[in-house]
Structures are given as C-alpha cells and as structure tokens.
Amino acid sequence: MKKWIENQVRIGQKYERLYPIVEAIFSTLFSSGATTKKPPHVRDFITVKRHRIVVFFALLPCLLAGIYNVGYQALKNQELTIHFIAAMRIGFSAVMPMLLAVYGVGLLIEITIALKKQKEIQEGLLVTGALYILILPASVPVWLVAGAFAIGLFLKQWKYYFHPSLIAALIVYACRPSAMTVAPIWTSGHVTLWLFIAFSILIGSKMISKKIMLSAYLSAIVTIFVLKLFAPHDLPTAWILLLGQFFFATLFIATDRESGPHIKDAHVIYGVGIGVLAMLLRYITEKPASVMMAIAIIQLITPFIDQWALRKRLQKRIPNRIDLCYASDDHATKTL
C-alpha cells in the first residue's frame, strides 16, 4: 500500500501535487530509504525529522506538567481542594483551545506553502507549537495566540534565524503588555523535574549543544554576581537560573539548530551573549519575558556571529600547495 501511494504522487503522475503531504506523513511514520550518492556522506539515522521528534517527546512531559500547573494554580487561587484529575481537567480546558488553534493555523500555513512551492512540509511544527504555548500565560485570548503564531511562521519563511514561537510570543507581549507580568504556563516547581529529565534526554542523545548551555549559564552566573556587587538587587538567583524562564529558554529555544549558529566555533559567543543580555534585561525590566527578548536579540545577529567564526576558522587553515606556489609572481613563473 505504501509503495502504491508513493507511485501515485511521483513527478508526472496525476496526484503529484500531493507529494509534500504524503512525504510528511511517511517520513514521520517510517524510516527514510533515501541515501547519499556522493561523498562526503554521513551514515546516521538521525534526520532533521527524527531530531524534531526526539525533542518533542522530551518536551511532552513538560507540556503535561504545565497543563496540570494551570489547573493547580486555578484551584489554589479559589482556595478549593486540589485533586489531580480536577487540576488536569481545568488545565486541559484552558490550554487545549490554544493548542488546537496553534496547530490548526500552523498546519494550514505549512501545507499551503508546501503545495505552492512543491517542497517538503517543515518538520518543526510539533515542537514549535508546544514551545509557543508553554511560553505564554493561559489567559491570552485564542485569536491573539493564533494570529501571532501565523506571523511568526511567515517571518520564518522569510529569514531562517527567526524562531517562530519566540517571535510570536514577543508579538503577544507587545499587543498585550499585561501578559509580560504573568508567569507562563509551565513556570512552577511541578515542571522543574521534567525539565531536568528533558535536559538529560537531549544531552544524552546529543541533540543539543553543550557549549551553548554551559556558556550561557556560566556567563549568567558571572553577570548576576557582578550586578550584586555594583548594583544590589533582590532577585533570587536560584529561581532565575533553574525555575524561571532561563532554564526553559536555553534548553529548548537557544539550542535550536535552525535559528542558532550553524558553526560550532560560534556556540560559545552565542551562549555568552544570551547569558549576559538575559540577566541585564531581567535586572532592568524585572519581567519574565526579558529572557525571550534577549534570545531574540542575539538570534538577530546570529548570521554575523557565524560569519565571524567562519572567517576565524579559514584563517587557521593550512594553505594548500597550489596557494604556496602562487604566493608570488616570481615563484609562480618558476613553478610553471
């Protein structure tokens, strides 16, 4: 059946325009049979889609814990008896409309673009949609959630270094400034354990860059201590680094392979920039969304960081023999 369907959507067949949809379904459910034809090649089963699926499964427990946290906070504020089932029911009733709106709008846009350009459907929608919902408070209207996400996806088509969920969240904060003072869906001690589990999965499977997270955390710690020395503040260090948005953002957003730096030599500079700028904005604004703003600003200059790292790498290369031969005209003439 699978082979028959693939034959029907091949180039020149009647249903060839449906190829992006069929390819997206089959590449998600089955291993790809495509192989490289020319060297250099990598023998690995981890494709971009497989990478996204692993990240989604690491993110899924955090999403469920965040849904429980919404119901837990609602029951706590009403001074009612807290039960797990009641908390999950309230959380699902608040979060599911947002999830359905985001995935509905995102899938519609991705399918439309794929059919129009006849290219494969982008595989990051599952992860991007879940991240976007977890960044926002549960009180944001559904229409604003869906509209901002659509704008974020269109910007992603324009420039690859725009992270859709991050840009969409900043649009929501711009349209509804009061949302910046409300804790996101996942911010709670209930989610912290799952964040550490997700961190172990992603680090153990080598899905994220250790350099980015380590440099971001070390630079953030140094910045906090410098601020305490020269500009004392009452912001709790443990909350900012472990329970606040910083841990979540550096784990899932800052380490994104598409919007982050593509050259490994740039990972340290990228992480240091995020750590320092995030703590400075957090100290100045005292708002949770400052971490997302810092990552968005650093991601805007990511192409320049990549270019600088590439230039430094090329300067360290040993010149080829032909370069040495043509270093001067006299030597080149003798060589010829």
DSSP 5-41: HHHHTSTTSTTGGGHHHHHHHHHHHS-------SSS-
Tell me the C-alpha distance between 99 and 146, whole Å.
9
- In the chain, what is the straight-line distance between the N-terminal and C-terminal CA atoms, in Å? 63
Check whether residue 165 and residue 65 sit in a common domain.
yes
Q: Is pLDDT at 106 greater than 70 in this prediction?
A: yes
* The amino acid at 51: H
Domain-located, residue 281: yes
Of 265, 254, 248, nearest to 208 by C-alpha is 254
Q: What contacts 268, CB < 8 A, 6 or more positions away?
A: 211, 212, 215
Question: Of the ranges 29-38, 70-79, 149-158, which one carries the lowest mean pLDDT score?
Answer: 29-38
Domain-located, residue 326: no
Check whether residue 52 and residue 174 sit in a common domain.
yes
Check whether residue 153 and residue 216 sit in a common domain.
no
Tell me the C-alpha distance between 296 and 293, whole Å.
5
Check whether residue 95 and residue 177 sit in a common domain.
yes
Check whether residue 66 and residue 171 sit in a common domain.
yes
Q: What is the reported pLDDT for 229?
A: 80
Check whether residue 100 and residue 174 sit in a common domain.
yes
Per DSSP, the three-state class of 139 is coil
215-250 pLDDT, tens digit per residue, is 988 888 888 888 878 777 666 666 566 556 788 888
134-172 pLDDT, tens digit per residue, is 888 888 888 999 999 988 888 777 666 678 888 888 888
Tell me the C-alpha distance between 133 and 155, whole Å.
18
Check whether residue 160 and residue 217 sit in a common domain.
no
Q: What is the reported pLDDT for 188?
A: 57
Check whether residue 177 and residue 229 sit in a common domain.
no
Q: What is the reported pLDDT for 31?
A: 55
Tell me the C-alpha distance between 197 and 12, whole Å.
48
Q: Of 162 and 35, which is predicted with more confidence? A: 162
Model confidence band, residue 41 (pLDDT cutoffs 50, 70, 90): very low
| φ/ψ of residue 185, rounded to 5 | -60, -40
Check whether residue 168 and residue 293 sit in a common domain.
no
Check whether residue 174 and residue 59 sit in a common domain.
yes
Answer yes or no: are the C-beta atoms of 215 and 271 closer than 8 Å.
yes
Residue 70: give the domain boundaries: 48-181
- How far from 317 is each of 39, 215, 312, 320, 323, CA to CA, in Å? 21, 26, 9, 9, 12
Domain-located, residue 230: yes
Give the mean pLDDT of the chain.
76
Check whether residue 122 and residue 216 sit in a common domain.
no
Q: Is pLDDT at 193 greater than 60 in this prediction?
A: yes
Q: What is the reported pLDDT for 100?
A: 92
Model confidence band, residue 125 (pLDDT cutoffs 50, 70, 90): confident
Answer yes or no: are the C-beta atoms of 191 and 68 closer than 8 Å.
no
The structural domain count of the chain equals 2
Q: What is the reported pLDDT for 238?
A: 60
Domain-located, residue 109: yes
Domain-located, residue 36: no
Check whether residue 255 and residue 152 sit in a common domain.
no
Radius of gyration of the chain (CA): 23
The reported pTM is: 0.73
